[in-house]
Amino acid sequence: MHKTDERKIAVAGVGAVGASTAYALAVSGLASELVLVDINKAKAEGEAMDLAHAAAFIKPIRIYAGDFEDCRDASIIIFAAGANQKSGETRMDLLLKNYGILKESLPKLLGGADSILIIVSNPVDVLTYAALKISGLPPERVFSSGTVLDSSRFRHRLSYHCSVAPRNVHAYVVGEHGDSEVLLWSLANIAGTGIDRYCELAGIPPVNRQEVDSQVRNAAYEIISRKGASYYAVSLAIKRICESILRDENSLLSVSGLIEGQYGISGCCLSLPSVISSEGRGKPLELPLSNVEEEALRRSSDILKAAIAELNL
């Protein structure tokens, strides 16, 4: 196994999400080298040229379009290749199409280096499980963006209602990155105080949980119906994950990875808060959920396992 370039990041697939991720990474100053790969080589070249022309405004970074073999020594490989979710389409509708792309591409991307593989293409949870099986990499080095974005959406809605900065809101979404995701109301808090109690102390009306749940769960559908795709926020979620890896932060992020017995669940990948460091994804935390939340998480895992079964891995 050869060594990775510690500050090299590869983005495979430079559609709207991949290109936005490349932009977020270039502006962040995290990487020293950024390689873009796409089946449409001209698209990758155009994106690389456009980003490289920002050289005078960002920290030094080498940005270029490459081939599969150029990804093999990257410390982080971001897999964003595949079809986008269309209006009226669920993430699961993309499964067979994007699984085929993953199955064909992944062996070409991985070259025996100790890379961390981050899956972004939907449905991320099922494709992460497939990537684990295809790659043979250890579970801590294969995970996806999961519900990092969904958790941010949850915090955004709570911060808006409570008139506090989103960074002061602690709230997670777990389970599938999709229709069966679970908002953890029982653990959501501001300054260590439960949301309902905080609203009482602040003299504001209680949060309409049903409304917030709908806004968070259906956010992607609402965006897609208006502008055709969702890519800015998820690109920043991916940048945040890369930041925790490259800076060895040990940050808690709700990425999706292999579940091995937490809440009695196994045989699938789903999101739970996990410590993210230079080693990858640590063991997911088994948080003290309410009975309703735990049941919803198991239902979510059953949906994911049914989808995995369709692939005959």
Taking only Cα atoms into account, the Rg of the chain, rounded to an integer number of angstroms, comes to: 19
Candidate list 2, 156, 170, 177, residue with the active-site label: 177
Annotated catalytic residue 177: yes
**Who's near 185: CB < 8 A, 6+ residues apart?**
195, 209, 290, 293
In the block, tokens 């789903």 appear at 270
Q: Phi and psi of 104, rounded to 5°?
A: -75, -40
Beta bridge partners of 274: 253
Distance CA 142, CA 255 (A): 10
**Who's near 26: CB < 8 A, 6+ residues apart?**
34, 51, 54, 58, 61, 63
Q: CA neighbours within 13 Å on the CB side: how many for 252?
A: 12
Question: Could you tell me which of 262, 198, 212, 243 has the C-alpha nearest to residue 75?
Answer: 243
User: Which residues have a catalytic role annotated?
Assistant: 177
